[in-house]
Amino acid sequence: MKRAEVDETKFNPDLAYPYALRKMDFISAMQDVYDFFADVNDNLAGKGLQRFDDMIRPAAMSGMLSDMITDSMANHSRALTSNLHHNGHPDLIVRGRYPNDKIAAGSEGVEVKATRKPGGAVDTHGGRDQTLCVWVYEVDNDRNKSIYEREPLRFREIYIADVSVSDFRHNERGTLGTRTSTLHKAGLVNFRRGWVYLDESSGGHSAWRR
């Protein structure tokens, strides 16, 4: 089973990271995720089962990756830790800033999202002033290839930047849907200036740079 490795040449050499984050924090978090999928898929393949990537639904995958990235970043970061409040915002908060490292809606920290959408246009439950970090990933679901021929899950883009309420547009949903917000065109232009990692080896990704 193929194992993904972090390509350190794809990182932005000029980025000023917020909250004392470092390039190595992102590298470590990426590799933690890659190692998890490689180990799990090796175990599943040994039992004659399909890859974990193929078992889990896209929405569940994005949510799980967001949680994994948050936990890993909290372990490697010098200043940030996981927000221990259930469904609290943001996901990563400044260590010791809030009592018991938990807050329902804090103003200091980083909200983490994972998505398959190139360019970082991820849906959120509401636009707000925040530091947003979006990880864009890719899964090889080509059924014409065996599980041993398929490429492992890889992150293609990472962004981190401050955004404000005015950077979002609201997405109306039907009676059974939940209203969401997404960065609008101008908001995305500003957000993408905070690119951390860009891997354009996949044709469908980073098209906004072409």
**Domain containing residue 151: CATH number:** 3.40.600
Domain count within the chain = 1
Is residue 3 in a domain? no
pLDDT in tens, 6-52: 999 999 999 999 999 999 999 999 999 999 999 999 999 999 999 99
Is residue 150 in a domain? yes
Distance CA 131, CA 153 (A): 26
List the beta strands (DSSP E) in the chain.
80-82, 92-94, 109-115, 130-138, 154-163, 168-171, 180-183, 195-198
CA 105, distance to chain mean position in Å, is 20
- Rounded to 5 degrees, φ, ψ at 101 are 50, 45
Is residue 2 in a domain? no
Residue with structure tokens 């398959």?
Answer: 116
Q: What is the pLDDT of residue 207?
A: 47
How many C-beta atoms lie closer than 10 Å to residue 65's C-beta?
Answer: 22
Is residue 202 in a domain? yes
| Vertex 79: Cα angle to 94 and 24 (nearest 5) | 135
Q: What is the pLDDT of residue 170?
A: 74
Is residue 117 in a domain? yes
Q: Are 34 and 4 in contact (CB under 8 A)?
A: yes
Q: What is the pLDDT of residue 176?
A: 52
Region of residue 96 (phi > 0: left; psi between -120 and 50: alpha; otherwise: beta) = left
Is residue 182 in a domain? yes
The count of residues in the chain is 210
Residue 9, both tokens: 């040449």
Supply the range of the domain harboring residue 188.
8-209
State the sign of the Cα–Cα–Cα–Cα dihedral 49, 54, 57, 62: positive
Q: What is the pLDDT of residue 202?
A: 57
Distance CA 45, CA 28 (A): 26
Is residue 16 in a domain? yes
Q: With a cut of 70, which residues of the chain have pLDDT below it? A: 125-126, 171-179, 202-210
Q: What is the pLDDT of residue 182?
A: 81
Q: What is the pLDDT of residue 210?
A: 37
Distance CA 135, CA 146 (A): 27
